[in-house]
């Protein structure tokens, strides 16, 4: 294999010096010219295959079971590549480049969601870090590892706003807030795509699942969603618009029927809004078999009609179901579909291949895995990211951090469970690479004992990683009874109880909360989970995460989120008769070992019609710590009933013990105060606005 690569490189070197007389092969020609030249040479069959995606290798996604596949036309436009052998990836490319008439390279894609081999915290956890730079770094490392295996495309970031924790895919996104999700989306796109898609180590991003998939009814997957135009505009669209502005190369159309029209067949969504309004110039891929599912969704009578609807709506590439391959030719021949509609889709796909530099450098250097994966600096980033993603929900009497000679018992189903540290969608991550909680704790704590002798019982509870992800809906978000019993019994036995939660969704903790002295939400933290958790337990890391999603008091409160619109009767009206209407832990909640004091906010006009809101935060403890300041805007009177509070800016800073830092929110009224109406027009009306920030600034009467 090594030899083969050397030969390929030599061939490339020879080519590098010469500019081809065939325009599309000429690396110095502008991309548009190359695309048009190539398109003009393609047969319809070749075009249709460019617009088709199939898979290569064995899919380990239990929801998309398909036999190990190595049989696909060499002219295929894209493959979901399940292997991690770079040699095989080069073999696929060689077949496409050397054994086909036009030599068009294949676009190899994969679900690289929170790491490729080095696994980072699940996106929901990353959202709790309030550190977009960290998200960018994680995505950049993921891109480097994936690229080294021959991949050039990831189906990430997932930017569906999700407000129902029973929906399993809540773990894949950044929570309930459109602004925060937009910021993390931008960071992820920048991390994957880097400065230029042509650079080594960068891969194309894919914004998914467009759109409204996260508004799942009753927490179930694949069901229709109903979202008003107003809420689509002010809540579900913004992260996609932000991703388009950040230059995301592709978008994935979702599974759901939205307001009566399946999104994968909606020209309004895929063309009018995405391209017309936002100027998206990449290509759209359907979700897995989403074109065929137009039949099940009741808008297409057969596969041919499904293909016509999807292509004309704006789905450029058909994932896996072969609908385009089997139907587009006859549709075009019978004039049911225009050839130029297909040309347009292929033009977009080829444009990305050229932008990625695939035509000029289709092969990937074949290096041993040890040089490509889990490098010490990758693990270091994973540990730091995990440290920032945990949320300290409760810390009664400052029980945490523990001194390292405390007699601790580490119990519960996730105490020594490397197979649950990574979380769902772990690409090529392995449990054997992940540090379990116990392995981490053993490195610092010298007195690990059985429960009877312990001063502190560390209860490691939650949900296995297979409980969240695609098709992982639950009817409630309760913990299993035996786990609750573990916490309650430990407390009743006179122990101090520290609860460590391993999970991918908010859980209902109100039954155990009174029995826990401390609760640390650790999510699924990835390869360095155990080490990072131990860092927090022993105080090497001061927790700084804050929730990017509300933790309901019970499942019955769902959906519950901070940025709801005001209700018509306030005070004690419209409340539950049996439980509180307040969540257990609100959006933005998260404790620290430091204590932070916020000054009054000052507001002053600055240049360009803008304002500056300033707050000084003082760390009046003896421990250095980081604080994320979340800034909210409210518009109490507007012709649109706007959410009671809307996050508009956030920033995290390290504040050494005893010191203060100033946080500044520069307010551009047209961006930060304006709302948007149901037609997509900005609405900025005269009147008062309320600017707030503070440790519990999202708190409001629910
Ligand atoms: C999921 C997508 C994923 C695709 C390819 C689908 O089932 O909904 O998120 O990217 O499979 O694996």
CB count within 10 Å of CB 145 equals: 25
Q: Please give the distance, rounded to the nearest whole angstrom, from the Cα atom of residue 107 to the centre of ligand 1.
A: 16
Q: Please give the distance, rounded to the nearest whole angstrom, from the Cα atom of residue 550 to the centre of ligand 1.
A: 26
- Rounded CA gap, 646 and 641, in Å? 12
Q: Please give the distance, rounded to the nearest whole angstrom, from the Cα atom of residue 64 to the centre of ligand 1.
A: 8
478 is catalytic: no
Q: Please give the distance, rounded to the nearest whole angstrom, from the Cα atom of residue 238 to the centre of ligand 1.
A: 22
Ligand 1, residue 252: give the atom nearest the CA. Answer: 10
Determine contact, residues 592/617, Cβ cutoff 8 Å: no
What are residue 16's phi and psi, to 5 degrees?
A: -55, -35
pLDDT digits (tens, 9 = 90+) for 362-390: 999 999 999 999 999 999 999 999 999 99
Ligand 1, residue 61: give the atom nearest the CA. Answer: 12
- The pLDDT of residue 64: 67
Q: Please give the distance, rounded to the nearest whole angstrom, from the Cα atom of residue 281 to the centre of ligand 1.
A: 22
- Rounded CA gap, 219 and 476, in Å? 9
Nearest protein CA to atom 7 of ligand 1, as residue: 288
Ligand 1, pocket residues at CB < 6 Å: 61, 63-64, 111, 155, 208, 287-288, 470
Q: Please give the distance, rounded to the nearest whole angstrom, from the Cα atom of residue 287 to the centre of ligand 1.
A: 6
Ligand 1, residue 206: give the atom nearest the CA. Answer: 10
Paired tokens of 54: 């199939």
- Rounded CA gap, 205 and 288, in Å? 17
Alpha helices in 406-466 (DSSP H): 437-444
List of residues 6+ apart from 518 with CB closer than 8 A: 392, 394, 395, 396, 399, 400, 497, 498, 499
- The pLDDT of residue 57: 80
Alpha helices in 194-334 (DSSP H): 229-231, 238-245, 267, 293-296, 303-313, 323-333
Which residue(s) pair with 630 in the sheet? Answer: 650
Ligand 1, residue 158: give the atom nearest the CA. Answer: 9
Provide long-range contacts, Cβ within 8 A and 24+ apart, for 73-76. Answer: 73/49, 74/99, 74/100, 75/45, 75/46, 75/49, 75/50, 75/100, 75/101, 75/102, 75/104, 76/49, 76/52, 76/106
Nearest protein CA to atom 4 of ligand 1, as residue: 288
Buried b (16+ CB within 10 A) or exposed e, 312-338: bbbbbbbbbbbbbbebbbebbeeeebe
Nearest protein CA to atom 5 of ligand 1, as residue: 288
Strands (E), 363-437: 391-395, 408-411
Nearest protein CA to atom 8 of ligand 1, as residue: 287
Determine contact, residues 435/483, Cβ cutoff 8 Å: no
Ligand 1, residue 155: give the atom nearest the CA. Answer: 10
- The pLDDT of residue 695: 80
**Cα 543–chain centre separation:** 22
Give me the catalytic one of 160, 177, 287, 535: 287
Q: Please give the distance, rounded to the nearest whole angstrom, from the Cα atom of residue 574 to the centre of ligand 1.
A: 39
Residue among 69, 255, 470 whose CB has most ligand 1 atoms within 8 A, to mutate: 470
Q: Collapse the DSSP code of 693 into the 3-class scheme (helix H, G, I; strand E, B; otherwise coil) and give the result.
A: coil
Ligand 1, residue 255: give the atom nearest the CA. Answer: 8
Q: What's the average pLDDT block by block, 10 residues per block, for the chain (702 residues)?
A: 36 44 97 98 98 86 66 94 92 97 98 98 98 98 98 98 98 98 99 98 98 96 98 98 98 98 98 98 98 98 98 98 98 98 99 98 97 98 98 98 98 98 97 98 97 98 98 98 98 98 98 98 98 98 98 97 92 90 95 97 97 98 98 96 96 98 98 97 96 76 50
Give 6: exposed, middle or buried? Use CB within 10 Å, 0-12, 13-18, 19+.
exposed
Nearest protein CA to atom 6 of ligand 1, as residue: 288
Q: Write down the pTM of the prediction.
A: 0.96
List of residues 6+ apart from 174 with CB closer than 8 A: 123, 124, 126, 127, 157, 159, 180, 181, 184, 185, 548
- The pLDDT of residue 1: 32
- The pLDDT of residue 68: 63
- Rounded CA gap, 313 and 98, in Å? 34
Q: Please give the distance, rounded to the nearest whole angstrom, from the Cα atom of residue 316 to the centre of ligand 1.
A: 16
Determine contact, residues 132/184, Cβ cutoff 8 Å: yes
Alpha helices in 503-569 (DSSP H): 529-537
Residue among 287, 292, 317 whose CB has most ligand 1 atoms within 8 A, to mutate: 287
Ligand 1, residue 59: give the atom nearest the CA. Answer: 12
Residue among 154, 255, 288, 427 whose CB has most ligand 1 atoms within 8 A, to mutate: 288
pLDDT digits (tens, 9 = 90+) for 622-652: 999 999 999 999 999 999 999 999 999 999 9
Residue among 111, 207, 213, 253 whose CB has most ligand 1 atoms within 8 A, to mutate: 111
What phi-psi label fits residue 645: left (phi over 0), alpha (psi between -120 and 50 degrees) or beta? beta
Q: Please give the distance, rounded to the nearest whole angstrom, from the Cα atom of residue 372 to the centre of ligand 1.
A: 25
**Crossing angle of helices 86-98/2-17, nearest 10°?**
50
- The pLDDT of residue 66: 62
- The pLDDT of residue 69: 65
Nearest protein CA to atom 11 of ligand 1, as residue: 288
CA within 13 Å, CB half, 75? 15
């Amino acid at each position: 294999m090594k030899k083969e690569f050397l030969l390929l490189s030599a061939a490339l070197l020879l080519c590098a010096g010469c500019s081809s007389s065939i325009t599309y092969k000429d690396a110095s020609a502008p991309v548009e010219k190359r695309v048009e030249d190539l398109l003009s040479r393609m047969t319809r069959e070749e075009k249709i295959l460019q617009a088709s995606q199939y898979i290569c290798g064995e899919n380990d996604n239990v929801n998309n079971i398909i036999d190990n596949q190595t049989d696909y036309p060499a002219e295929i436009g894209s493959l979901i590549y399940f292997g991690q052998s770079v040699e095989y990836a080069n073999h696929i490319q060689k077949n496409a480049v050397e054994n086909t008439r036009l030599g068009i390279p294949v676009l190899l894609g994969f679900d690289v969601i929170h790491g490729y081999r080095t696994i980072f915290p699940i996106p929901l956890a990353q959202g709790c870090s309030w550190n977009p730079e960290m998200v960018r770094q994680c995505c950049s490392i993921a891109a480097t590892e994936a690229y080294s295996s021959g991949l050039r495309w990831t189906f990430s970031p997932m930017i569906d706003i999700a407000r129902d924790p029973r929906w399993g895919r809540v773990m894949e996104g950044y929570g309930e807030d459109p602004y925060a999700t937009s910021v993390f989306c931008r960071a992820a796109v920048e991390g994957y795509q880097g400065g230029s898609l042509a650079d080594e180590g960068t891969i194309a991003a894919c914004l998914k699942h467009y759109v409204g998939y996260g508004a799942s009814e009753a927490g179930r997957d694949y069901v229709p969603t109903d979202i008003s135009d107003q809420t689509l505009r002010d809540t579900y669209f913004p992260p996609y618009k932000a991703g388009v502005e950040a230059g995301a190369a592709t978008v994935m159309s979702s599974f759901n029927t939205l307001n009566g029209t399946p999104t994968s067949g909606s020209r309004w969504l895929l063309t009018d809004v995405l391209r017309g309004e936002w100027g998206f110039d990449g290509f759209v891929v359907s979700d897995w078999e989403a074109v065929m599912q137009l039949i099940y969704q009741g808008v297409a009578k057969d596969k041919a009609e499904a293909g016509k609807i999807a292509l004309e709506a704006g789905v450029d590439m058909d994932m896996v179901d072969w609908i385009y391959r089997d139907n587009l030719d006859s549709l075009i021949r019978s004039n049911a579909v225009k050839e130029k509609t297909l040309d347009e889709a292929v033009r977009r796909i080829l444009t990305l291949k050229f932008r990625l530099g695939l035509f000029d450098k289709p092969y990937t250097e074949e290096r041993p895995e040890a040089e490509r994966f889990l490098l010490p600096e990758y693990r270091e980033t994973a540990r730091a990211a995990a440290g920032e993603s945990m949320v300290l929900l409760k810390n009664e009497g400052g029980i945490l951090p523990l001194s390292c000679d405390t007699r601790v018992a580490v119990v519960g189903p996730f105490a020594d469970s490397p197979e649950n540290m990574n979380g769902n969608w772990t690409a090529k991550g392995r449990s054997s690479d992940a540090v379990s909680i116990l392995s981490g704790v053993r490195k610092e704590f010298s007195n690990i004992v059985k429960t009877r002798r312990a001063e502190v019982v560390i209860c490691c509870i939650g949900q296995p990683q297979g409980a969240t992800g695609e098709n992982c809906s639950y009817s409630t978000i309760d913990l299993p009874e035996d786990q609750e019993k573990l916490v309650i019994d430990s407390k009743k036995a006179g122990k101090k109880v520290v609860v460590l939660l391993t999970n991918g969704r908010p859980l209902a903790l109100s039954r155990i909360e009174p029995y826990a002295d401390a609760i640390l939400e650790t999510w699924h933290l990835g390869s360095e989970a155990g080490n990072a958790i131990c860092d927090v337990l022993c105080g090497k890391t001061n927790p700084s995460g804050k929730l990017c999603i509300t933790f309901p008091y019970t499942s019955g409160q769902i959906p519950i989120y901070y940025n709801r619109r005001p209700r018509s009767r306030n005070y004690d009206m419209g409340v539950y008769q049996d439980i509180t209407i307040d969540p257990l832990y609100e959006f933005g909640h998260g404790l620290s070992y430091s204590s932070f004091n916020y000054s009054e906010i000052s507001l002053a006009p600055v240049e360009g019609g803008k304002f500056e809101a300033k707050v000084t935060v003082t760390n009046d403890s003896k421990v250095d710590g980081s604080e994320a300041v979340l800034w909210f805007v409210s518009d109490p009177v507007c012709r649109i009933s706007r959410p009671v509070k809307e996050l508009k800016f956030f920033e995290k800073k390290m504040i050494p013990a005893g010191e203060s830092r100033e946080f500044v929110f520069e307010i551009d009224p047209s961006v930060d105060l304006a709302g948007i109406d149901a037609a997509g027009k900005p609405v900025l009306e005269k009147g008062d606005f309320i600017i707030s920030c503070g440790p519990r600034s999202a708190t409001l009467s629910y």
